[in-house]
Amino acid sequence: MLQSSKIFIAGHRGLVGSALTRKLREQGFNNLLERSRQELDLTNQHAVEVFFASEKPEYVFLAAAKVGGIHANSTYPAEFIFSNMQVQMNIINEAWKYKTKKLMFLGSSCIYPKLAPQPMPEDCLLSGKLEPTNEPYALAKIAGIIMCQSYNRQYGTNFISVMPTNLYGPNDNYHPLNSHVLPALIRRFHEAKVNKAPIVTIWGTGNPTREFLYSDDLADACIFLMEHHNGNDKVLNGRMRIL
């Protein structure tokens, strides 16, 4: 991946996309293709095709997604599966059609079964029932992985998938109900400190354990993988899990 390459960061304003943008610029990549939601609706197949036909990006980081915590996933399951499937199908298919050299699909650790052993080995994928609260989102992400693998097998593309764990960092979503666990905790403790509240109430039993990864560290790993690993690597089998 040369500094002069045309690189499309889908979702460049989000948690992962903005971290990728920062890190790529720090490393001298200045030919970055960025489009806001107002400029390019990634759920619109025709709009995405026009963009790829015009710009012909050589490398694509597919970091755009509709995401949220337990409350958001439970409240908007139809939107989570429909919107994410639309974005993934549009970008992956156009990347193949317009001969993108390499695409990286950003998934989620929620693709693994609810009762998978810890730490989760890669071969646990599709081996058991998913967590019910985020099943629609997880199924959309699984479909993205399988789509990348299918295009590699049938068309000889170089599409890879990365499954990060729970992320946090700049440009995270701190919504009081729809955010993920760490930004939700940050907001609640911050508000408690500002308001001098004696108690902070958080959801859950306190028994589950989590792994957290800083978004800029994920970005470093993604850039390394984009430069050094391919969709046909036997060791990784097309599925890279970064924890």
Closest CA to 148 of 112, 199, 86, 104: 104
- Whether 137 is a known active-site residue: answer yes
For residue 113, whether the previous peptide bond is cis, meaning omega lies within 30 degrees of 0, is no
DSSP string, 48-104: HHHHHHHH--SEEEE-------HHHHHH-HHHHHHHHHHHHHHHHHHHHHTT-SEEE
**Alpha helix positions (H), 123-231:** 135-155, 181-195, 215-228
Enclosing H/E stretch for 16? helix 15-26
Helix (H, G, I), strand (E, B) or coil at 145: helix
From the list 59, 112, 137, 151, the catalytic residue is 137
- CA-CA distance, 169 to 160, in Å (whole number)? 24
Q: Which residues are catalytic?
A: 137
